[in-house]
Chain A
Amino acid sequence: MSRERVEEVDFAVDEHIWGHRLYDEQLPHLALLEFLGILRAKSTAPLRQDADGRVRYRPSWQITLRALLFNNPNLDAIRLRRDADADKWKAWEESFKKDAGDLAVGGLGHLRETFLSFEDFAKAVALLRSSAYEANSNKRWSSKFVFPYGPDALYEDIRVKADGSASNDRRFFGRTGELLYLMLCRSSRAAELGPLLVSRLFNPTTPLNRLARAMQGQTQPAPNERTSGYLPHTSLPRFDRLAEDWLAILSRDMPAGDAVDHLVVSAGLNLLLYFLERGKAAAGDTDPVEFLCEVVSRDRSKVRALSADSWQSNQAVSLRAVRAFVESAKAAPEWGAALVAADPSAACAGVLRDLFQWPPEEKEIGTAPERLVSLLAEAAEKRHGQHFGKIHSIWSRAVGLSSRRLSRRMRYAPNDRLLKTLVVTVVEGRMEYGEFLREIHRRYGIVVGEAEGSALVRENVVDQEDLSNNRARLESRLLGLGLLRRLSDACSFVENPFWRGAA
């Protein structure tokens, strides 16, 4: 039993459970941007992987564009001067070149052709900045991203060194977007979804894509091709779910920019579920993943404590998975054979090496087989804690599923943005509220009301009344968001304002 080799790692444990790799610091919007960069490169044959289960693509850099937006500190000061237009352009070019160096290929001459005045140019820069991600954060400028208006506004995360040279690094594009791409390639709806994504999101004629293209001037591709990371599973219901959710979002009657926002949340939520589901599977836990959510109320309730417990227990899943996964080696038939080999220590090391790329040759010679397993498990647990182990905590917060609001403990308490995405994704036209709760439980394990939490009520963990109050609070919240219509106390309908055909 030999597994695919994963490059760039000392041993492969997390990678065989989840892939290489999911990366905690790559928040869902960054995963989507990485994904879109691949899609752009593959737009003529979208969502098709290579025969070896990888995808090879050449991203873009668009250094002129991003430098204009994020490494252009003197623009405003120069705009405000009482100088002639030509003088402003001149002064600005000098200052900009000092900051941006020679990375902006093809010079800046095209800008004067594009804009009638320096003032117009400055306005255009401010416009694109206003919707950019984290434009005002203290991230390095080469890790800031313009909103994905279209194919010309996409580029990969890079590092620019002091000497002015640039290279891609994996600080924020940590391959999560690559895995997202592979998941959708492997979903049963890939053939439909790929072209739909391209037509809906890569319309080159949308005004702001044209503006971005004009500011960039000549397109700047990355110097070489990338090969995607590794995704161990060839198919999973979660991949299909993700694809279906995206198909639903893209079919709604809303501006493309809004659809992007919902895709981000949907990707984040499904990736989080993938992470927990695979973790549970590796740990041999067959219970489905559930998120018991408190719909935030001012009064402290039993549900708040339970949602914090629910968070805690999900947080523990992945670490348990790592140990169980390493120890599962001992159940493999090869392991049994190795134990009775002439040199059990070397034979068992060989088995582990096949499974986990560890121990390295020449190392750990003569270590007892049991000890080898526990050494690896310890090392794997330690490494897991650095990034993989933080995924649940960071992503569940990033998608708006968990929060610390009104509480010291982290718990599941969905925010308005997530609720909106759920309604937009799940509801075709209108749907009875109870059915909606059933559906978000079935799809995402979200527990709000007493029907979905009936197991908890049976085990006397919580009163039915607490959960039905929780359910009523969500109802009022959806009403406030304009997403629900109430017929009477016992009957209401969730409505999707973006349903095609809605007046």
Chain B
Amino acid sequence: MPNETTAGVASPPALTWVRFLRNYGPLSTNGNLFDEHVAKALARAKVRPISLPPPRLAEMEAFFTDGIGGSILVAGTAGDGKTYHCRSLWERLGGASATWAGGVPLKRLPFRGREVVFVKDLSELGETEGDEVLEGLERSAAGDDSVSFVVAANHGQILDRLRTRGRRLGMDSPLRDPIQSAFLDPGSSYPRLGVFDLSRGADRRAMESVIAAVADHPEWERCAGCPLDSADRRCPISENRARMLGREDGGLFVRRLGDIVELSRLNGEHLPVRDLLALAANALLGHPAAREGLMTCADVAGIQHRGDADRASVYRNVFGVNLTKKSLSKYPVFRTLSSFGVGEETANGIDGLLVYGSDDSRLSEAFGRLVASDPLYGASAGFLAAQRRYLEGEEGARDGDGDDSFRDRLSDQRRRLFFTLPGDAGESYPFWGLTSFAHAGEYLALVEAVENRRSVDEKTRSAAVRGLNRVMTGLLLENADKIFVSGGGGASGSRVGSLCETEIPARRTGGVGMAIRADSKTGKPCLDVCVAPGSQPVLLDLTPVRFEFLCRVASGALPGSFSNECLEDLLAFKARLLRQAEAARATPEPEGGEPAEGDGTLGLSFIEINDRDGQGAVRRVSVRVGA
């Protein structure tokens, strides 16, 4: 009997629901992640759907009901919800669900005296049909109101189609530039072509609504009275769900996860909704011993029997620790999350706590509060046993055999602490120190400040400035109030640059200096540097990676893993600043300024560093070079 479990419990009440949910996870056959299949699966499982509001639907509808006419392009990565948006719009404009379910790729809907043609996936069309759609799109955008289109396509696909068609016809499509700009410059728009780029939506809010839709789903009511989660038995699925709902930690888990999603977005990574769903399902159901790494209710009794529920920890599952390398690599979301290095990165205080906490009297209070308080995923019996073996110097305890090494367990504990350490846990327990973005806390505060047009915290600004100065000059400068735009006279790629072209204030004053602000188009933070009055500002997106690099350079360390590329990246910024300085030098001083140096004298500004306080200052050397 498939419904009988090893412990002899009859079919758990939520089994079909959990199986349905499991199909959203990172499995080799995860049908539910495709809008096309989900309806059938719902009917089979007889459960209510996981419903996420299509975030751009209202705007899309308004485009047709209130707009000036024209067509819509729905763009995004696989899994962004393009089909879902199209289907919802179809229904909203009066289309029948049954017609949509029919297999034809082109669907026509009469709407207010014209026809709206829906193409739910441009890649399903052959060359001829595809050309017809593109032609129709061009006509509609140019003013023809007899037929409108709603076309869904991946970014690459639509650009590729337009390009190859352009090549065939020997002329570029008039839509190619506007579409490309709409993708790359979020501010741009084109009156009769609404470009809805769904890939831009995956932020903290999207993640929160996915978690809520999954963890707070009404079908969970079936769990009530389940024997696997009553009396002394704790069901890991139900435990994970409770932690995701955040009823005990005040939503801390979701907040930290949201931070990671935000940082990823600002780093230019993109997390499709489909991936977020897979993430949520995996966080709930992951266990390395289950089939394909994802539990159903049928696995729970066995896990309880073996006593390895701690390996179902939601804190592990979020990073896909339960999955094989291969399935990890298939989902951008797990690739992205693993780039934070949670589990591998650590801070001394935290490792000290985890290793010696239960023995050392100075640590025992903190250990009790931060670790032992959670007997399921924190100080579980398995962890305490491994810790004891390690401290007693048992051979092989550190690296262990198979899955049960103390080192792996330490990684799990660090993952847990990342999500559970309170923000005010003190300097010894910095939760961002458990990631490769140790300065992410300051960064997120900076993002919030620039988004709300507040000024950036002085300590943060000063770290960024010190980092910049060190990249510019190759000297260990401490100056935080000004920026030395400097080089070595040769290529700016050379690491030393003791020749100062110009010094500018670290805060924009009188049109000169550096401003940290939100980019007017993307809303993301950027450095905006003006080297001279009236010269062209040089912009640099201040991504988490760049910020982290600058902060680490400012504190004297060159981070290993991403340092080289990041340094090259910032050296290009330096070159652009130097170029502006070069240009400014070529323009004569405005009236009232100091007269330009005569032909016979050359002024060179050397940056000299004071050994005592690390402050750099410019020393001018005059050289008589003759005419």
Chain A interface (Cβ < 8 Å from any Cβ of B):
113-116, 120, 123-124, 127-128, 130-131, 147, 149, 207-208, 210-211, 213-214, 253-258, 260-261, 416-417, 420, 430, 432, 434, 477, 479-483, 485-491, 493, 497-498, 503
A213 to B270, CA, bound (A): 54
Judge if B129 is at the interface, Cβ distance under 8 Å: no
- Contact A485 to B184, CB < 8 A, known contacts A130-B488, A416-B565, A477-B565: yes
Decide: A258 and B491 in contact? CB cutoff 8 A: yes
A117 to B604 CA separation, bound complex (whole angstroms): 14
CA of A114 to CA of B602, assembled, Å: 10
Q: Are A120's CB and B621's CB within 8 A?
A: yes
Say whether A420 contacts B625, CB under 8 Å: no
| Known contacts A113-B624, A257-B492; A488/B562 CB under 8 A | no
Given contacts A113-B624, A481-B568, contact A254 B579 (CB under 8 A): yes
Give CA–CA (A147, B487) in the complex, Å: 13
Assess whether A503 is in contact with B489, with CB atoms less than 8 Å apart.
Answer: no
Measured as residues with beta carbon below 8 angstroms from the partner, the interface class of chain B is 35 or more
Q: In the complex the two chains form, what is the Cα distance from A313 to B492 in whole Å?
A: 36
| B555: interface (CB < 8 Å) | no
B537 within 8 A of A: yes
User: A480: which B residues are within 8 A, CB to CB?
Assistant: 545, 562, 565-566, 569
B489 and A128 form a contact (CB under 8 A): yes
B:185-205 near A, CB below 8 Å? 199
Q: A255-B579, A497-B576 are in contact. Are A127 and B499 (CB under 8 A)?
A: yes
State the CA gap A353–B184 with chains docked (Å): 64
Give the residue name and chain of the A residue nearest to B606 (CB).
Answer: A123
Q: With a CB–CB cut-off of 8 A, which chain B residues contact A124?
A: 604, 621, 623
Candidates B156, B269, B487; contact of A491 at CB < 8 Å: B156
> Are the CB atoms of B159 and A432 closer together than 8 Å?
yes
Residue of A116, A253, A255 contacting most chain B CB atoms (<10 Å) = A255
A202 → chain B closest CB, angstroms = 15
Evaluate contact between B582 and A255: CB separation under 8 angstroms. yes
Are A486 and B624 within 8 A (Cβ)?
no
A32 to chain B, nearest CB (A): 12
Complex: chain A residue closest to B620, CB-CB: A120
**Minimum Cβ distance to chain A for residue B332 (Å):** 6
Given A123-B606, A480-B562, A147-B490 contact (CB < 8 Å):
yes
- B475-494 Cβ-contact flags toward A at 8 Å (1 or 0): 00000000000011111111
- The residue in chain A whose Cβ has the minimal distance to the Cβ of B566 is A480
Give Cα A120 to B499, complex, Å.
13
* B575 and A254 within 8 A (CB): yes
B253 to chain A, nearest CB (A): 27
**Residues of chain A lying within 8 A (CB to CB) of residue B159:** 432, 491
Interface string of B308-348 (1 = CB under 8 A from A): 00000000000000000000000010000000000000000
CA distance A120 to B156 in the complex (A): 58
Using A480-B566, A491-B154 as known contacts, say yes or no to A211 and B625 having CB atoms under 8 A apart: yes
Distance to closest chain B CB from A86 (angstroms): 18
Cα-based distance from A323 to B357 in the complex (angstroms): 75
Please report the C-alpha to C-alpha distance between residue A481 and residue B604 in the assembled complex, in whole angstroms.
31
Interface hits, B342-386 → A, CB 8 Å: none
What's the minimum C-beta distance from B601 to chain A, rounded to whole angstroms?
Answer: 10
Minimum distance in angstroms from B59 CB to a CB of chain A:
20
- Complex Cα distance A47/B489, Å? 27
Question: Contact at B602–A210, with CB atoms within 8 Å?
Answer: yes
Can you name 24 A-B pairs with beta carbons within 8 Å?
A114-B623, A115-B623, A115-B624, A116-B622, A120-B621, A127-B604, A130-B489, A207-B604, A211-B602, A253-B576, A260-B490, A261-B491, A434-B156, A480-B562, A480-B566, A481-B568, A487-B183, A488-B77, A488-B155, A489-B270, A491-B154, A497-B576, A498-B576, A498-B579
- Say yes or no for B78: interface residue by CB 8 A criterion: yes
Contact B493 A127 (CB under 8 A): no
Q: Judge if B426 is at the interface, Cβ distance under 8 Å.
A: no
A481 to B571, CA, bound (A): 10
Q: Do B625 and A503 touch (CB < 8 A)?
A: no
Q: Is B12 an interface residue (CB 8 A)?
A: no
| CB neighbours of B39 from chain A (8 A) | none
CB contacts under 8 Å to A, within B601-627, are 602, 604, 606, 621-626
A127 partner residues in chain B, CB cutoff 8 A: 488-489, 498-499, 604, 606
**B625 surroundings in chain A (CB, below 8 A):** 114, 210-211, 213-214
Contacts of B155 in A (CB 8 A): 487-488, 490-491
B572 at the interface (CB under 8 A from A): yes
**Contacting pair A420 B623 (CB below 8 A):** no
A200: shortest Cβ distance to chain B, in Å?
12
A503 interface neighbour in B157, B539, B569, Cβ under 8 Å: B539
Beta-carbon contact of B493 and A490 below 8 Å? no
0 or 1 for each of B557-580: is its CB under 8 Å from A? (1 = yes): 000001011101110110110110
B565 partner, pick from A130, A430, A481, A488, beta carbons under 8 A:
A481
**Min C-beta distance of A106 to chain B, whole Å:** 14
CB pair A482 B604 closer than 8 Å:
no
Determine if B602 and A214 form an interchain contact, defined as CB atoms under 8 angstroms apart.
yes
> Which B residues are CB-close (under 8 A) to A481?
565, 568-569, 572
> Which B residues lie within 8 Å of A482 (CB)?
568-570, 572-573
4 pairs of A and B residues whose beta carbons are closest in the complex: A131-B490, A480-B565, A491-B156, A488-B77
B496 adjacent to chain A (CB < 8 Å) = yes
Residues of B within 8 A of A491 (CB): 154-156, 159, 183
Contact check: which of B157, B199, B494, B536 meets A130 at CB < 8 Å? B494
Closest to A417 in B: B493
User: How far is it, in angstroms, between the C-alpha of A254 and the C-alpha of B488 when the chains are bound?
Assistant: 15
- Contact yes or no, B494 A416, CB < 8 A: no
Q: A127-B499, A416-B568 are in contact. Are A147 and B184 (CB under 8 A)?
A: no
Indicate if B76 sits at the interface (CB-CB under 8 A): yes
- Which of B491, B539, B562, B602 lies in contact with A257, CB distance below 8 A? B491
Give B414 Cβ to nearest chain A Cβ, in Å: 22
How far does the alpha carbon of A354 sit from the alpha carbon of B154 in the complex, in Å?
A: 64
**Contact A114–B624 (Cβ < 8 Å):** yes
B475 to chain A minimum Cβ distance, whole angstroms, is 12
The interface residues of chain B lying within 8 Å CB-to-CB of A211 are: 602, 604, 623, 625
| B546 (CB) vs chain A CBs: closest residue | A482
Please indicate the chain A residues that have their CB under 8 angstroms from the CB of B622 in the complex.
Answer: 116, 120
Which residue of A has the minimal Cβ distance to B79?
A489
Residues of B contacting A479 with CB < 8 Å?
Answer: 268
Q: Which residue from chain B places its CB closest to the CB of A497 in the assembled complex? A: B572
A123–B607 CA distance with the chains assembled, in angstroms: 11
Q: Are B184 and A260 in contact (CB under 8 A)?
A: no
Q: Which residues of B contact A493 (CB under 8 A)?
A: 184
- Closest residue on chain A to residue B599 by CB atoms: A205
Proximity string of chain B (527-570) to chain A, C-beta cutoff 8 Å, 1 when within and 0 when not: 00000000011110000010000000000000000101110111
- Interfacial chain A residues near B156, Cβ < 8 Å: 432, 434, 487-488, 490-491
Does A255 contact B578, Cβ atoms closer than 8 Å?
yes
In the complex the two chains form, what is the Cα distance from A214 to B622 in whole Å?
A: 12
Question: Is the Cβ of B536 less than 8 Å from the Cβ of A503?
Answer: yes
A-chain residues with CB within 8 Å of residue B537 when the two chains form the complex: 503
Q: Is the CB of A149 within 8 A of B270?
A: no
Q: Digitize B261-299: 1 where CB-to-A-CB distance is under 8 Å, 0 elsewhere.
A: 000000011100000000000000000000000000000
Cα-based distance from A325 to B568 in the complex (angstroms): 44
Contacting residues, chain B, for A260 (C-beta < 8 A): 490-491
Give chain A nearest CB distance to B246 CB in angstroms. 30
Contact B493 A261 (CB under 8 A): yes
Contact between chains at A487 and B184 (CB < 8 Å): yes
Residues on B with beta carbons closer than 8 Å to the beta carbon of A258:
491-493, 575
Q: Which of B109-158 contact A (CB under 8 A)?
A: 154-157
Q: Please give the distance in Å from B50's CB to the nearest CB on chain A.
A: 23
- Mask, B490-507, CB within 8 Å of A = 1, is 111110101100000000
Contact A130 B496 (CB under 8 A): yes
* Residue from B76, B268, B575 within 8 A of A498 (CB atoms): B575
A208-B489, A254-B579, A432-B156 known, 10 other contacts, Cβ within 8 Å: A113-B624, A114-B623, A130-B494, A214-B602, A214-B625, A417-B493, A482-B570, A489-B77, A503-B538, A503-B539
